[in-house]
Structure formats: C-alpha cells, structure tokens
Amino acid sequence: MVQRWRDVARASGLASPDGSARPTIFAEMTALAQRTGAANLGQGFPDSDGPAWVRDIAAAAIRNGVNQYPPGRGTPELRHAIAAHQLRHYGIELDPEREVLVTAGATEAIAAAVLALAGPGDEVVTLEPFYDSHAAAIAMAGATHVTVPLTPDPDGFRLDTAALDTAVSPRTSIIIVNTPHNPTGTVLSSRELQLIAAAAQRANALIITDEVYEHLTFDGVAHTPIATLPGMAARTLTVSSAGKTFSLTGWKIGWITGPAELIEAVTAIKQFLTYSGGAPFQPAIARALIDGDADIAALRDSLSTRRDLLAAGLRNAGFDLIMPAGTYFVCADARPFLSDGDDGAAFARALPERVGVAAVPVSAFCREASTASQALAPWVRFTFVKDERTLRTAVERLRGLERTRGAVQR
C-alpha cells in the first residue's frame, strides 16, 4: 500500500518522494508570508468578502434549517440558475435535470470528471503551466499527463500550436482547457480555441474546461466557452464555480455541465467523493447567478484597476511582465533580480525575507525539466486580488529590490 502511494507520489508530485503530504505551493507561500509579515501576493484569494446580500441569503438559510444534505446533484433551484446563466451569457442550452451537476468547487468537478473518463493507458493533455489540481486529478486517475506549452511572446503567453499537434493523438482521451488561464492570465483567442477544438475532433477526445475566471477579464476581452464552438458541445464538459465570480472562494460551490451521458458518469464518481455539500450556500449562489450582474461588473472594474496598479509597480521596480487579459494574476520575469544559479523558485522563496512580499514561482505550475518549465524558470506569479493598500505596500517594497550584478539591463 505504502509502496504504491510512494510510486504515485514520485510519479505525480502529489506528495514528497517519501510519501509524506506536501503542502501546495499556495499554502507554503501563505505560511511563509504569515511568518515574515510579507504582503501576500502569493495565494490567490480575495481579502474582502463577496456581496453582503448574497452572504445574507446563506446566513438566513442556516438560521432557517437549510442544514442537511442537499440533493446529490445540487438543489433544483441552483441547477436551474446555472442553466439560465449559461444560456444568458453564452447561448448554451442545458437541461437542468440531466445536464447540470453541482460540485464542491471546480476542483471536485474536474477531479470527478477526470476520474470518470480517464484511466491507465489514457493520455490527458493540459496546457503548461497548468493549475496544480489538474495534474493531481490526472495522477489519481492513473492516466498519463501530456502538456502543450504556453510560450511568453510580445502578444502574451500563447499556445504553442506545433506542440498541440504533437501532443494530441489517438491516445488522448481528454484535453483540459483552462481559460482564462491560471497562472498566466491568458484568455485563449478564438483561433487558439478553434485549433484545440479541431485537435479534439481529430483525436476523438473529450474536453473538460476550467472557466472559473470566466467573468474576470479586462480591456473588453471576451471569454468564449469552447463548448460554444461548432460541434463541440457534444464532447465538452464545462466547469466553473462561484468562488472567483462572487469573491466567496471558501464556499466551494462549483458546477459541471454538458451532455447528459457524460454528466451521469461524473455524477457516479462525485457521489462517492463528497456526495453533496454546501446546503445553505446553494440558494445564495442561485440568486447571485440571477441577480448578481452588477456585483460582477463592479468586481471586474476594481480588479482591472488593481491589475494596472500592480503591473505599473512591477514595471517600475524593474520587472518585465506580460499584461494578463483575465484572472487574479500577473506573471513577471525576475531575471534582473536573480543571483547566479538562482531561478524563480529560489527568488520566490527568498522574496518575503528580502523585501517583505510573497509570490509564487511559475515553475510550480510546470513539470520538472519540461520545455515550459525551462522557459519559465525565472518567472513568478503575483496576485492582484488584494486591497489597494496591500498592493501599494507591496509595490513600494518591491521598488527596494536591488538588481543583481550579473543582471542584464533592459
């Protein structure tokens, strides 16, 4: 048993090679920030809570006896609200009874879908960098993880289209499409989505998405669910959640939608992961999805301002960066500040002591020694989903960062 776990741990990075649980990079950096009093621009969670009126609905639900197991698929009210949201924003038509499943956040939705639909011998393709839980889900399913780099260029982190053609093959059972993308902030363009769709069709692969930042895009950039591309609804499971949209990340209300047959398979797994959860939160999120557009717009505007503040501050301090079109995050190239032999991981681990700011190395979202991890080794991710005071403090402190001697002046 333990040997099997160690093999999995080694192969997947789910744990340390000796089998001990390893905190995620986010937990590690938050702990480090707390220990050192650093401004925490590492873990991406808002430091102010979502709309009071939404929280009031949940509080009233707790007081009024909505405290036992909700239906395994989610309350009918929430499933209808999710279907209505998909129709109103994207024109996607869903049967709330058979094509919508409520989950414990997007993380559970993706894990359940991968466990249901991939196993040993199957390849699951993701972009690289990738969100840590996607790799963990693939490892837990015993499938093989194959990646397609997002490459930094003047237009942003863009899909390596040649690598896509090589990565997706008849062995591919699933392509996980995360857009808006964590950690890069890339919103995939329609051309990139079309290429991924065509690759999925050629390989007869399914798509599982991660669209949790669907509403958090900037400069008028629009998010397009890949399920809306011609022919794609039949092979796509669309995943999102309320956490980022309504600044309620601890509520863990997510959902997965798509063809009834696939949702049935995901439900079979999901019922033995958490069974169900979040009873008092479900009516609150149902209302938020219907009546929360003004709150979403306000969050998007304020986030866009905070993105600009942090990006300007980082540039001022001497970082090169790629402006994100969405999400909570901006990635910056730390090369001017690296000592000989150091990479972004060493930089991020030292930064709280050095100037009192915490960040996350982009290599934490990469596989060891991959093409992407080599290209992105000096990059670090900062979050701007913090109040302006924290951002200003961080920016002020980063200005005190001294360039290393060997650093190339740019």
Q: How far is the C-alpha of 79 from the C-alpha of 354, rounded, in Å?
A: 48
Q: CB of residue 263 vs ligand GLN: minimum separation in angstroms?
A: 24
Residue least distant from ligand GLN (Cβ): 44
Contact between 24 and ligand GLN by CB under 6 A: the answer reads yes
Question: Binding residue for ligand GLN (CB under 6 A) from 33, 41, 44, 384?
Answer: 44
Count of positions on this chain that bind ligand GLN (CB under 6 A)? 5
Q: CB of residue 338 vs ligand GLN: minimum separation in angstroms?
A: 23
Q: CB of residue 383 vs ligand GLN: minimum separation in angstroms?
A: 6
Taking the least distance from each CB to ligand GLN, the nearer of 178 and 373 is 178
Taking the least distance from each CB to ligand GLN, the nearer of 43 and 238 is 43
Contact between 43 and ligand GLN by CB under 6 A: the answer reads yes
Q: CB of residue 43 vs ligand GLN: minimum separation in angstroms?
A: 5
Q: Name the region of 363 (left: φ>0; alpha: ψ -120 to 50; beta: rest).
A: alpha
The residues in 147-206 that bind ligand GLN, with binding defined as CB under 6 A, are 182
Burial of 84: CB neighbours in 10 Å, binned 0-12, 13-18, 19+: middle
Q: CB of residue 328 vs ligand GLN: minimum separation in angstroms?
A: 7
Q: Which of 250, 222, 246, 252 is nearest to 295 (CA)?
A: 246
DSSP per-residue codes, 213-225: TTT-B-TTPPP--
DSSP per-residue codes, 266-316: HHHHHTTTTSS--TTHHHHHHHHHHH-HHHHHHHHHHHHHHHHHHHHHHHH
CA dist 275 to 112, 279, 312, 324, 396, Å?
A: 11, 12, 45, 36, 47
Contact between 90 and ligand GLN by CB under 6 A: the answer reads no
Q: How far is the C-alpha of 226 from the C-alpha of 207, rounded, in Å?
A: 9
Contact between 46 and ligand GLN by CB under 6 A: the answer reads no
Taking the least distance from each CB to ligand GLN, the nearer of 44 and 361 is 44
Taking the least distance from each CB to ligand GLN, the nearer of 136 and 175 is 136
Taking the least distance from each CB to ligand GLN, the nearer of 131 and 218 is 131
Residue 297 CB contacts under 8 Å (≥ 6 apart), including other chains: none
Taking the least distance from each CB to ligand GLN, the nearer of 319 and 382 is 382
Q: How far is the C-alpha of 367 from the C-alpha of 183, rounded, in Å?
A: 14
Taking the least distance from each CB to ligand GLN, the nearer of 22 and 403 is 22
Taking the least distance from each CB to ligand GLN, the nearer of 237 and 358 is 358
Q: CB of residue 131 vs ligand GLN: minimum separation in angstroms?
A: 7
Q: How far is the C-alpha of 54 from the C-alpha of 281, rounded, in Å?
A: 9
Q: CB of residue 26 vs ligand GLN: minimum separation in angstroms?
A: 3
Q: CB of residue 167 vs ligand GLN: minimum separation in angstroms?
A: 23
Burial of 24: CB neighbours in 10 Å, binned 0-12, 13-18, 19+: middle
Q: CB of residue 202 vs ligand GLN: minimum separation in angstroms?
A: 31
Q: Apex CA 379: angle with CA 239 and CA 161, to 5°? A: 55
Taking the least distance from each CB to ligand GLN, the nearer of 16 and 204 is 16
Q: Which of 12, 48, 284 is nearest to 138 (CA)?
A: 12
Q: How far is the C-alpha of 270 from the C-alpha of 323, rounded, in Å?
A: 37
Contact between 26 and ligand GLN by CB under 6 A: the answer reads yes
**Which residues are at the interface with ligand GLN (CB under 6 A)?**
24, 26, 43-44, 182
